[in-house]
Structure 1
Amino acid sequence: MTFDAIGIASTGLTVHRKWLDAVSDNLANINTVKPTDGSAFQARYVVAEEGQGTTGVFVAGAAYGSEEGRLVFEPAHPLADAEGYVRYPEIDLASQMGQLIMAQRGYQANAAVVDRAKDTYEAALQIGRS
Structure 2
Amino acid sequence: MKTPGIFSAIKWTMSGLNSQVRKMDVIAENIANAERAPDENGKLYQRKMVVEEEGARVRRPEFLNQLALKLRKADKGHLPAMLESDGPLKARPGDPLKLKVVEVKGEKLVYNPGHPRADENGYVRMPNVNIVEEMVDLISSSRAYEANTTVLNAAKRMAKNALNI
Shorter-chain TM-score above 0.5: yes
Compared CA separation, residues 91 and 47, structure 1 to 2 (3 A)? same
Matched, 1:78 2:116: yes
CA apart distance, 1:71: 2.3
CA apart distance, 1:70: 1.7
CA apart distance, 1:106: 0.8
Distance 1:64 1:117 in 2: 36
Q: In 2, are the aligned partners of 1:36 and 1:85 still within 8 Å (CA)?
A: no
The equivalent position to 2:15 in structure 1, one of 11, 16, 28, is 11
Amino acid corresponding to residue 122 of structure 2 in structure 1: G
Ranges in structure 1 where 5+ consecutive residues have no aligned partner: none
Q: In 1, are the aligned partners of 2:49 and 2:103 still within 8 Å (CA)?
A: yes
- Partner residue in 1 for 2:158: 120
Deviations, residues 83-125 of structure 1 (Å, cap 9, x unaligned): 4332110112221111111101111111111111011111111
The equivalent position to 1:61 in structure 2, one of 100, 116, 119, is 100
Distance 1:79 1:51 in 2: 45
Moved more, 108-117 or 81-90: 81-90
- Partner residue in 1 for 2:63: none
Amino acid corresponding to residue 114 of structure 1 in structure 2: L
What percentage of residue pairs aligned between the two structures are identical?
A: 30
Aligned residues: 126
Give the structure with the larger helix fraction: 1
- Partner residue in 1 for 2:45: 41
Ranges in structure 2 where 5+ consecutive residues have no aligned partner: 57-79, 92-96
Aligned structure 1 segments of 4 or more residues deviating by more than 6 angstroms? none
Distance 1:24 1:59 in 2: 21
- Partner residue in 2 for 1:23: 27
CA apart distance, 1:61: 1.2
